Structure 1
Amino acid sequence: MAQDETGPLSTEQAQAQFGQQPIKERHIAILAYPGVLNSALHGLAEMLLLANRCAAEQGLPWRFYPEFVTWPAQIQTQTQSRWDAVLLPPAMDDSGYGQENEALSQWLRQCHGQGALIASACAGAFLLAAAGLDSGRPLTTHWGLEAAFRQRFAKAKLDCGQILIDQGDIISAGGMMSWLELGFALVARLGDPSLVSQLGKLLVVDTGVREQRFYRRFEAKLNHGDSAIAGLQTWLEQQLHGPISVVAMAGYCHMTPRTLQRRFLKATGLQPAQYLLELRMQRARERLESGNDSFERIATELGYEDVSACRRAFTRLCGLSPGEYRRRFRRSG
């Protein structure tokens, strides 16, 4: 790709600037596939070029050389045979990641076998998993894609609470904007961790630790085809103020508790008790974002006699205490 003043120095220029200190070139392939999020595609390249500016200012010898590789056109014809890393950006739609493509999977396995770090952001995890590169290790993707990912890769391990999971030879990041975290991780891994702080200041981006579960929202799905379970889900939305047992849920559906648990899990992907917890914690999030009520009052109105138990459940599920969550996400006005 064309370089400007933020691009890497030539080998001769870098050697002249740094004397005998060897220049450590890092060649990065960024996959341009159908439906790719163009802001992430170009943003990753520009982020790496800005890292070169930071490295030059610090007198560090690392230089990143990002290059777009277009799938399917360039997979067989691209000139760079060995990469230090291959990046799989997020997507706007599933036209590129929604189905298997063995040629792409084979290319990714080949790059990985040659020593390339394979890194995905958001929907890019589908391409990584399709190539079998997770090898039973956990990945992350956007929380809104969790159900589709689990349906397609039933045996894969997924942790959508995390924004970034670094497995050494593979890195996955969740969320459409998680390509920023991915870029920082790549700069630290293939360059120097000291570059990350300076790069974050240059981009005016917080490089502190975040988790995807801070931003996750629970959205009930009712289009699973089981009308009895859908009716129960609607009923539960209206019963959050009091204690609800699995036996009571089964009675509402005229089923045995065992039958209810089996059908509920098949329809929603969750056990009834976990589903009820998700509903309550989502209601608590909404109240903290938009109102002034104390968490004690919110917990009581959600059917908790023990406010401490509600607070522990909220913190475990959301990754932030109720007070921290309100300070971070409360709507103004």
Structure 2
Amino acid sequence: MKHVSILVPEGECSLTTIEGTYQILTRVNDWLIEAGCDDLFVVQLVGLGREVQMKEGRFRVFPDVLIGEVSQTDLIIIPSVHGDKQKILSDNQPMLDWIVERHRQGAAVAALCIGAFLLAGTGLLNGRCCTTHWDFAHAFREMYPDVNLVEDKIITDENNIYTSGGAYSWLNLIVYLVEKYCGREIAVTCAKGFQVDYQRVSQSPFIIFTGQKNHEDAAVQAAQDFIEKNTHCKITVDELAEKLIVGRRNLERRFKKATGNTVMEYIQRVKMEAVKKSLETSRLGVNEVMDRVGYTDAKAFRTIFKKVTGLSPLQYRNRYNREYV
């Protein structure tokens, strides 16, 4: 038997990831029995208190046991958490200590979506890879610079620690864990039963690049504005530095510090967002779209686009443009 502890942290967290994980794992038990096997998962909701209120009191969750009452756990599931991350860490410090101790005793730990913030608060992710929702990538890096965030990944698996990408990517991680514990056949049944496309490996096609604007560097802000207003032009770092009357090295250093991107990375990402928007909303051909953002090398353009989105321009258009559905 595998004892699974689905955590119910204090504060705002995703009811969907709590209830959904419980539902999937208990349904897997049914499929195992139907296949002539013994059931595998003993699933408990584990909290710091007997009752946790969420969504301004609209919902209440009653954990099965408190952390001090858990006699055995093989897998700890951390749900997605919302709100002030520092407050969540503070309110759940005893739970963080418990996670660390149980991991030292051999328990696996899986964080769903932005539950990665809570997991990172234990220190277990320091020096290791993890993923989370792409929209929280900059905030995560600022809060946890010692963690190697790979925001394009759907799943990470390292040292008995697992994380998932944004929003409903947690379903992919749960099916991945089902395969680890129950084998491929049951995982396929699970994926079909819950209609999960669990072969996805990247959340790049879903990322919307908006640029980091929450800083006070006026020169960097001016550079960002110029880049975003001139997606049709070929822009160089030297041109930007000259325009802003700032040394190139100084601009590159300040830009990276303020935005988390190099100047050239930022230019590419802004141009690719413009391309994505055109592919989503117009009937322009790929070469026409390429020309509109100042690219003349078709091979280089397609390489960069696929690096950013995980798809070719044609695949992206066919997925997101209604007229091509």
TM-score when scaled to structure 2? 0.89
Residue 201 of structure 1 corresponds to 192
Return the offset for 1:95. 5.3
Gaps of 5+ in 2: 51-62
The alpha-carbon distance between structure 1 residues 51 and 121, as it changes in their structure 2 partners (threshold 3 A), is same
Residue 307 of structure 2 corresponds to 316
Residue 60 of structure 2 corresponds to none
Question: Which deviates more, 195-204 or 69-78?
Answer: 69-78
Identity of paired residues, percent? 30
1:29 and 2:20 aligned: no
Residue 57 of structure 2 corresponds to none
Residue 59 of structure 2 corresponds to none
Return the offset for 1:193. 2.1
1:184 and 2:175 aligned: yes
Task: Check whether the contact 2:46–2:66 (CA below 8 A) recurs between aligned residues.
Answer: no
SS in structure 1 opposite 2:73?
coil
Return the offset for 1:112. 0.5
**Correspondence 1:269-284 to 2 at 5 A:** 269-284=260-275
Residue 28 of structure 2 corresponds to 51
1:325 to 301, 316, 319: 316
The alpha-carbon distance between structure 1 residues 72 and 230, as it changes in their structure 2 partners (threshold 3 A), is farther
Residue 212 of structure 1 corresponds to 203
Residue 300 of structure 1 corresponds to 291
TM-score when scaled to structure 1? 0.87
Return the offset for 1:78. 4.0
Q: Larger radius of gyration, structure 1 or 2?
A: 1
The alpha-carbon distance between structure 1 residues 96 and 151, as it changes in their structure 2 partners (threshold 3 A), is closer
Question: Which deviates more, 208-217 or 65-74?
Answer: 65-74
**Correspondence 1:131-210 to 2 at 5 A:** 131-210=122-201
Return the offset for 1:97. 6.8
Task: Check whether the contact 1:165–1:173 (CA below 8 A) recurs between aligned residues.
Answer: yes
Residue 91 of structure 1 corresponds to 81
SS in structure 1 opposite 2:168?
coil
1:114 and 2:105 aligned: yes
Give 1 or 2: higher helix fraction: 2
Residue 66 of structure 1 corresponds to 43
* Amino acid aligned to 1:214: P
Return the offset for 1:60. 2.5
Separation in 2, partners of 1:256, 1:95? 37
* Amino acid aligned to 2:73: W
Return the offset for 1:129. 1.4
SS in structure 2 opposite 1:178?
helix
Task: Check whether the contact 2:48–2:66 (CA below 8 A) recurs between aligned residues.
Answer: no
Separation in 2, partners of 1:318, 1:263? 27
Task: Check whether the contact 1:28–1:65 (CA below 8 A) recurs between aligned residues.
Answer: yes
SS in structure 1 opposite 2:44?
strand
Task: Check whether the contact 1:97–1:123 (CA below 8 A) recurs between aligned residues.
Answer: no
Post-superposition Cα deviations, 1:171-203, rounded to whole Å, max 9, x if no partner, equal 110112122112102211222221111112111
